[in-house]
Amino acid sequence: MMNTSWQLWRDRRGQLSPLRVGTLALLFFPLAKGLIDAQSIVHGARPINDMIHRAGFWALVFLGVTLAVTPLRRIARYGNLIDVRRMLGVGAFCYIAMHLTLFTASQMFDLAKVAHEISHRWYLIIGGTAWLGLATLAATSTDGMVRWLGALRWRRLHRIVYGIALLALVHYFQQTKADVTVPIFAASLFLWLIAYRLVAWWQDSSELSTLTLLGLSIAVSVVTLIGEAVGIGIAYHVSPMRVLDVVFDVSAGIRPGWQVLAAGLIVVAIDFVRGCWAKRSPRPRAASAA
Ligand code: HEM
């Protein structure tokens, strides 16, 4: 039986769940950080804009964490992780609702102006479309809606999350004025998460071998390094080969391509260790079924 209780820290059997408590703490972390930084936010040049940025950033982070649940529960052989996926997804929506509310506040709650702004700027049209998509997913995330839609239609509908992630990333890139290091790193992590699903679908297997995970991580890292070089080359009218030189020069900072490789290698290490462990104690099949 599903837990429809408002007591989010309890699992479906009504017992206190450390995993749920940890997830709630994670979801409340940005709010707590906002409160700790309140002084600097209020005395900053554009307090509302600062808060808009924070809410948008954390919405994207939680969207990524939600998408990471499926690969992680397989790689870490921790099937229970699925229990907090909905909470994470709804959490991402709460931050995006906050993002739009703050934007509305920045327009003095003049709804006509908000609508005009959103429909006249490309980065807001794209963000607005992603917003509507996330709202649809949040609205259909209740047990009642899952039953009403049926599991197959619900799953099909929720595939729009990949399109939403893409739009959100474009929106992020479009409004980033100077340093694109963090947006590129975010995009490469999303690429890894999508590539994982594509390879699993192509191999017709819910689990990828440690070697495949290694290959996937290297491929995403190479695509990110080349993508960054080509992107900067086009934006600043310089040869991508010259940019690639900088990409390999670690004294100029560790580029996102290397960062995603490091993240990928951590995942590979987790898979390897958990794989050895599972050989000693057989893994419950239910963990890899969904
Ligand atoms: C109607 C919907 C939306 C509106 C009106 C909106 C508005 C904005 C605005 C005004 C900014 C700051 C731009 C600047 O300072 O020049 C921003 C930044 C941002 N937005 Fe949105 N946005 C929307 C939807 C979304 C969605 C759906 C996501 C992600 C799931 C998102 C993620 C972000 C991110 C990551 C940033 C940059 C944060 C940073 O700089 O760290 N936004 N948005």
Do 165 and 187 belong together in one domain?
A: no
Let me know: does 125 contact 118? Beta carbons within 8 Å: yes
Do 90 and 160 belong together in one domain?
A: yes
Give the residue-averaged pLDDT of 253-277. 93
Residue 10 covered by a domain: no
Nearest-CA residue for ligand 1 atom 22 is 127
Mark which of 118, 150, 175 sits at the end of a domain: 175
Better-predicted residue by pLDDT, 5 or 167: 167
Do 185 and 171 belong together in one domain?
A: no
Residue 138 covered by a domain: yes
Residue 86 covered by a domain: yes
Do 244 and 269 belong together in one domain?
A: yes
Distance CA(226)–CA(220), nearest Å, equals 10
Give the residue-averaged pLDDT of 228-248. 83
Is the per-residue pLDDT at 13 higher than 70? yes
Is the per-residue pLDDT at 282 higher than 70? no
Mark which of 175, 207, 238 sits at the end of a domain: 175
Q: Is 104 in the pocket of ligand 1 (CB under 6 A)?
A: no
Query: What is the overall mean pLDDT for the chain?
Result: 91
Total number of residues shown for the chain: 290
Do 108 and 227 belong together in one domain?
A: no
Q: Is 53 in the pocket of ligand 1 (CB under 6 A)?
A: yes
Least confident stretch, 194-198, 241-245, 280-284: 280-284
Let me know: does 200 contact 212? Beta carbons within 8 Å: no
pTM of structure: 0.92
pLDDT band at 186; cut points 50, 70, 90? very high
Residue 2 covered by a domain: no
Residue 189 covered by a domain: yes
Do 130 and 147 belong together in one domain?
A: yes
Nearest-CA residue for ligand 1 atom 27 is 131
Which ranges of the chain would DSSP assign to H, the alpha helix? Answer: 18-36, 38-42, 47-75, 85-106, 111-120, 122-139, 143-149, 151-157, 160-175, 181-202, 210-236, 240-248, 256-280, 286-289
Number of domains observed in the structure of the chain: 2
Residue 264 covered by a domain: yes
The rounded Cα 111 to chain-centroid distance in angstroms is 29
Distance CA(185)–CA(220), nearest Å, equals 11
Do 153 and 27 belong together in one domain?
A: yes
Nearest-CA residue for ligand 1 atom 26 is 127
Q: Is 121 in the pocket of ligand 1 (CB under 6 A)?
A: no
Residues whose CB falls within 8 Å of the CB of residue 72, separated by 6 or more in sequence, listed in order: 78, 81
Closest atom of ligand 1 to 133 CA is 27
Do 21 and 153 belong together in one domain?
A: yes
Q: Is 165 in the pocket of ligand 1 (CB under 6 A)?
A: no
What confidence tens digit (pLDDT) does each residue in 104-163 have?
Answer: 999 999 999 999 999 999 999 999 999 999 999 999 999 999 999 999 999 999 999 999
Is the per-residue pLDDT at 1 higher than 70? no
Do 42 and 142 belong together in one domain?
A: yes
pLDDT band at 62; cut points 50, 70, 90? very high
Nearest-CA residue for ligand 1 atom 20 is 56
Closest atom of ligand 1 to 92 CA is 30
Do 235 and 222 belong together in one domain?
A: yes
Do 33 and 166 belong together in one domain?
A: yes
Give the residue-averaged pLDDT of 56-61. 98
Return the pLDDT at 158: 96
Residue 3 covered by a domain: no
Q: Is 51 in the pocket of ligand 1 (CB under 6 A)?
A: no
Mark which of 152, 175, 198 sits at the end of a domain: 175
Domain that holds residue 57: 15-175
